[in-house]
Structure 1
Amino acid sequence: MSARARRAGMGLTAFGAAAATLVLVAPQASAWVSDISVGGSNQQVGCAYTVTATVAIDRLLSVSFTDNGTAITGSPVTPSLLSNSVTIQWTPTTAGAHTIQATQDLISKSTVVQVSPSSAFGSVGCGLNGLFPSLSG
Structure 2
Amino acid sequence: MSGSIAQGTSQTHGNTHILHFLVRLPRPMEDVWPAVATREGLTGWCTAVDVLEPRLDGAVVLGELGSGRVTAWDVDRVAEYGIEGGGRIRFHLERDGDTASVLRFTREFRGETDSESAWRIRFERLVEYVARS
TM-score range normalised by the length of the shorter chain: 0.3 to 0.5
TM-score (ref. length: structure 1): 0.36
Determine which structure has greater relative contact order: mean sequence separation of CA pairs < 8 Å that are 6+ residues apart, divided by chain length.
2
